[in-house]
Structure 1
């Protein structure tokens, strides 16, 4: 089968088209999926730069996948050949990722693809949907009427988080980097959109909230953004971050004085630590998101689609910044269906 192999850690050029044996079902509850599309995430670029969690090379990256069930093990009951599915699995170094034409995984980690959603959108969805859901609904305990600040509202996780927050009835403020992203994020449900290259987001949040600040903030950028977001939170508020946090003592002192709750969202933990029950819980989240997608109230924006063999270029585009939504690869099965 066609696959993209990472043969060393480094720049995008280390991703090379290659050929691997078609994976075989090894357990009675496993399923083989013929992949159609796979999302590219910042996680993929970090693993490419630094090496996978296992350190084994060559490796196949890619945690997001969408495709058609081709074969099933003897005890599979949740799907059957011909079913259209999407999922988050593999790509961390321990199991084959989805920059390939086929993947094998347990049936417990599959969700049925929304019927009215294209392959590219389905392939783009798993990581960002699960991450935004866990961060806002589970860790952040977002409730109706709360003010929430979402950083990177035009990005992969951010544009899903804005929609999920709006669906919960929150009042949403989001940051973006560029003026041309403002209308897009307003259209997702944001009440206030701050262009960070034009405005100081702390002052803008204070003005928008009439001095009350926000009850919940989602940090998708880390570093200085995390530190300054502390200033944007109301007392007894919650700050959820996707990244490592600064060790500046002054930041933590201010967070403590405000009685903030600091939450960490790393949706990779179930795979990294072999927590199958938590992987199943995440798959249930993906199924809930599939229903929202099918009803049309949750939409995935795909900013660029490229053939699987152009994975290196896909990484370059993601790292260049400024895209709306996700970058997606597609296999030869969709080469003739650019809009799929």
Structure 2
């Protein structure tokens, strides 16, 4: 089969199209999936540049997100049959091969049937971003109906899905964006207030929007200075959840303490990296929630670019250049 291999740590040039053997089922509980598409995520570019989970296992196939058709099932599989269309977040960070390939294998417990009302390409774009948004907003901070939430990068991959999830939960949503096009997209997904962080102070805009109180929840998908400046944008006794690790100075922690803030973090790939089987099943059940929302017309994923698998390097270049709207997918055949 054809696959894109990360042959060494480095620039996009290390992504090479190769012919490799079609994978065999590693256990009786595994599926063989003929991939239709793979979602491309920022973590893929980071692992290409610095493969921290598998420095001694190169060349490796990247790509956590995938969708395709079940071509074969192990003898103990009960949840799927040949011909089922599925989507999942699996592989691409270490022991299991990723999804920049024509075929992949995965345990049946980590796989969900794709949404009926979504094609395979769109379904491949959804797993990592939806699981991240769900873990952050539902599991970490318990976002409730009537609460206010500020979502950074509201037109980005995680951001535009988080906006829709927050609105589904009944929250009022403000977002930061970098231009009018992204603002229009975020409003279309349900954002009540859009803040252009290049021309506006998002802290002051958030305070104004909440009558001086600050947002009940701030969802940080950016990190760095954005995370630190989010602390005064949250209300006293509010919650800030971040996808990135950011060093906190003594002054930062004192500000968070004085305001009684809860600081939370989410790394949705931790269950896969740490081999936490029960949490992998929990994440699959989150994907089943995503499929239900798509089929109910309450969730959509914005795929801005569909590139053939052979153009994986270009997809990485686009992500690293910044400013990408929604998601990029690689297509197979």
Q: TM-score, normalized by length of structure 1?
A: 0.96
State the 1:322 CA deviation. 2.1
Alignment of 1:159-198 (within 5 A): 159-198=160-199
State the 1:81 CA deviation. 0.3
Looking at structure 1, the residues matched to 276 and 94 of structure 2 have their Cα atoms a distance apart, in angstroms, of: 16
Looking at structure 2, the residues matched to 329 and 54 of structure 1 have their Cα atoms a distance apart, in angstroms, of: 23
Partner of 2:137: 136
Partner of 2:38: 38
Q: Contact conserved, 2:217 with 2:239, CA < 8 A, in 1? A: yes
Looking at structure 1, the residues matched to 163 and 242 of structure 2 have their Cα atoms a distance apart, in angstroms, of: 15
Q: Contact conserved, 1:87 with 1:109, CA < 8 A, in 2? A: yes
Alignment of 1:158-307 (within 5 A): 158-307=159-308
CA offsets 1:281-337 (integer angstroms, 9 cap, x no match):
0000000110101111100000101000110001111122222200100001xxxxx
SS of equivalent residue, structure 1 residue 135: helix
State the 1:26 CA deviation. 2.2
1:66 aligned onto 2:67: yes
Looking at structure 2, the residues matched to 246 and 129 of structure 1 have their Cα atoms a distance apart, in angstroms, of: 26
Looking at structure 1, the residues matched to 211 and 250 of structure 2 have their Cα atoms a distance apart, in angstroms, of: 29
Q: Unaligned regions of 5+ residues in structure 2, if any?
A: none
State the 1:247 CA deviation. 2.6
Q: Indicate the larger mover: 73-82 or 111-120.
A: 111-120
Looking at structure 1, the residues matched to 19 and 77 of structure 2 have their Cα atoms a distance apart, in angstroms, of: 28
Stretches of 4+ aligned residues off by more than 6 angstroms: none
SS of equivalent residue, structure 1 residue 327: strand
Q: Contact conserved, 1:227 with 1:246, CA < 8 A, in 2? A: no
Partner of 1:150: 151
Q: Contact conserved, 2:94 with 2:273, CA < 8 A, in 1? A: no
Looking at structure 1, the residues matched to 154 and 121 of structure 2 have their Cα atoms a distance apart, in angstroms, of: 20
SS of equivalent residue, structure 1 residue 163: helix
Q: Contact conserved, 2:213 with 2:236, CA < 8 A, in 1? A: no
Partner of 1:6: 6
Looking at structure 1, the residues matched to 310 and 149 of structure 2 have their Cα atoms a distance apart, in angstroms, of: 40
1:28 aligned onto 2:40: no
Looking at structure 1, the residues matched to 52 and 99 of structure 2 have their Cα atoms a distance apart, in angstroms, of: 14
SS of equivalent residue, structure 2 residue 330: strand
Alignment of 1:319-334 (within 5 A): 319-332=320-333
1:89 aligned onto 2:90: yes
State the 1:178 CA deviation. 1.8
Partner of 2:48: 48
CA offsets 1:245-286 (integer angstroms, 9 cap, x no match):
123221111001111111110001111111000000000000
Q: Contact conserved, 1:240 with 1:264, CA < 8 A, in 2? A: yes
Q: Unaligned regions of 5+ residues in structure 1, if any?
A: 333-340
Superposition CA RMSD, Å: 0.8
Looking at structure 2, the residues matched to 322 and 124 of structure 1 have their Cα atoms a distance apart, in angstroms, of: 17
